[in-house]
Amino acid sequence: MDIRSVGVVGAGQMGNGIAHVMALAGYEVLLNDLDKETLDAALERIARNMDRQVRGGKVSEQDKEAALARIKTTLELTDLGRCDLIIEAATEREEIKQKIFDTLLPHLKPETILTSNTSSISITRLASRTDRPERFMGFHFMNPVPVMQLVELIRGIATDEATFQACKAVVDRLGKTAASAEDFPAFIVNRILMPMINEAVYTLYEGVGSVQSIDQSMKLGANHPMGPLELADFIGLDTCLAIMNVLHDGLADTKYRPCPLLTKYVEAGWLGRKTKRGFYDYRGETPVPTR
């Protein structure tokens, strides 16, 4: 199937990054969210992030302008029905994703491929509640989307080969690399990454190290670009906790139990960068550890 237009549901951290890379690759993009402020903020962020790429010599000013012109926004979710490919990138809550698919389904073209950027929810289960489980799959980007090279493609039990190949062709056109993952809790990247982050929080909880020493150890001792606590703040502590819960529930192994300190930060509403406080406080000039 020839994919020309991409509908993106959700203009948050992941949704705006997905719209960004799709538009740069030449796709017509229709970006949807619940309120105009979020959509305006997303367009501003996309322009700012493209400027960084222009400054770095990765994108020309002309290509940036052409890409921005390819992004349209809408408050009406059902407008996305005319797109060839839909990527749902809403909040990581199954009931919200479910509602989005229920609303979209009557408006889709028969051949539209429906995908979710979920980082951990069962693709097979999401697909089974649609009218097109064979044309449904996981399309999982990494944050920051314009920089990270990988996209995980996750087949549900019913996903057909044509759908997989069509999505793989989109990833190729983005200039990114697709990793094929089976549909088990948290797929590949988060199955490995989140227990590491959770272990870093246990290391803090048990007083083995401070926020600073834990992050510094992993940066200088394991060559990670960000320390695990800094990375958790970057991803969002609510997202980290949600993924740990999916691993814990889905694999029924106590090794995935979320650290109580992670739960406490989420209960406090200290969700990381997006709320300006997490393992670091981002309200000043430079981030300050909160423990």
The yes or no reply on residue 208 touching ligand CAA (CB under 6 A) is no
- Residue closest to ligand CAA, measured at CB: 56
Active site residue 140: yes
How far apart CA 256 and CA 10 sit, in angstroms, is 29
Task: Indicate the DSSP class of residue 168.
Answer: H
Number of helices (H) and strands (E), helices first, in the chain?
11, 10
Least spacing, CB of residue 87 vs ligand CAA, in Å: 14
Minimum CB separation of residue 59 from ligand CAA in Å reads 9
CA distance 24 to 32: 18
148 marked among binding-site residues: no
3-class secondary structure for 245-279?
HHHHHHHCCHHHCCCHHHHHHHHCCCCEHHHCECC
Cα–Cα–Cα angle for 16, 57, 67, nearest 5°? Answer: 35
Among 53, 112, 115, 198, binds ligand CAA (CB under 6 A): 53
Least distance CB 256 / ligand CAA (angstroms) = 15
Asked whether residue 15 is marked as a ligand-binding residue, the answer is yes
Q: Which of 32, 116, 119, 120 is catalytic?
A: 119
Q: Is 10 annotated as a binding residue?
A: yes
String of DSSP letters for 38-107: HHHHHHHHHHHHHHHHHHTTSS-HHHHHHHHHTEEEES-GGGGGG-SEEEE---S-HHHHHHHHHHHGGG
User: Closest separation between CB of residue 236 and ligand CAA, Å?
Assistant: 8
- The verdict on 119 binding ligand CAA (CB under 6 A) reads yes
Q: Which of 148, 158, 169, 251 binds ligand CAA (CB under 6 A)?
A: 148
71: amino acid identity, one letter: I
Relative to beta strand 136-141, strand 150-155 is antiparallel
For residues 1 to 30, the per-residue mask of contacts with ligand CAA, x marking binding by CB under 6 A and - elsewhere, is ------------------------------
Is 143 one of the binding residues for ligand CAA (CB under 6 A)? Answer: yes
What residues line the site for ligand CAA (CB under 6 A)? 49, 52-53, 56, 119, 142-144, 146-148, 189-190, 193, 225-226, 231, 235, 239
Q: Mind telling me the catalytic residues?
A: 119, 140, 152, 190
